[in-house]
Amino acid sequence: MLFPMRDFDLSAYLRRIGLAPVAATPEGLRTLQTAQLRALPFESIDPYLGRLPATDLPAIAAKIVTGGRGGYCFELNALLHAAMQALGFAPRRHLARVRKGLPRGGPRSHLMMTCRLDGETWLADAGCGGPGPLVPLRADEDAPQQAPNGRYRLWTDAATGERVLDKETGDGWFPLYGFDAAHVGDMDIEAANYICATWSAMPFPNHLMLAGFDGDTRIGLFDRQLTLGTRAGETREELADADAFAALASGRLGLRLDDTELAAIWNRLSRTDGR
């Protein structure tokens, strides 16, 4: 089993995200997801450095809960899934097809959850990185929903049978991913993780992605392109040197990286083709 509950230390997880136990209610889920997103950065450092992220819960917890790192969807949502179960929620895992603005998705490569609460189905996702909603959304609601970081909507794609999550942008609705009711087993997640981390057609082996919070400032990094979002709007700049990267990753995002890792990341980032 990838996610055996006996191996999950809920108290350590809650200390890491700065939260007391919550009730298994919509408000409790909102509080839990928001706290995790604010405390645990999205980061694709391991695939970028040629490492295969682990999918077993003890290794994920050692890396993120006690090791001071972040992770990507298979790691971050494994923690959220385990925490939800430990707190009395009944989450269901889905492997979504990422669309990235396209009318159809690619392979099943994004782990997220749904959960029934008070007669409604909620979408829970703490591993989508910068574009994802900060709070859970009503998964069966077709009308746009307001989150603290933007407006979202879900709709049914008749051609694929998927529920599709869109985010509103200045150019209209941008499809993020689509998911369906297909059963997801542990081996499905392990295979998807391997594909995402090693296949050259996927973004993670080729590009560095970081996302998280520094206070009320939302931080996003794609290779060397840094985006900072506040209530006043967004600013964009390019990281100039290794010191700027270290200040962002280890400083503002709080990632526990040693000097060798920081140097290896910047050595690759500093090359014009990212390789």
- Backbone φ, ψ for residue 71 (5° rounding): -170, -175
Give the whole-angstrom CA distance, residue 218 versus residue 241. 21
Q: Which residues pair with 43 in a beta bridge?
A: 210
Q: What is the dihedral of CA 228, 231, 234, 239, to 10 degrees?
A: -20
199: left (phi over 0), alpha (psi -120 to 50) or beta: beta
The token duo for 163 is 């529920």
Give the whole-angstrom CA distance, residue 56 versus residue 54. 6
Q: Active-site positions?
A: 73, 110, 125
Among 44, 108, 7, CA closest to 249: 44
Q: What is the dihedral of CA 204, 30, 190, 253, to 10 degrees?
A: 40
Four-residue CA torsion sign, 88, 94, 100, 102: negative
Helix (H) or strand (E) holding 95: strand 91-98
Give the whole-angstrom CA distance, residue 55 versus residue 91. 18
The token duo for 250 is 């280890």
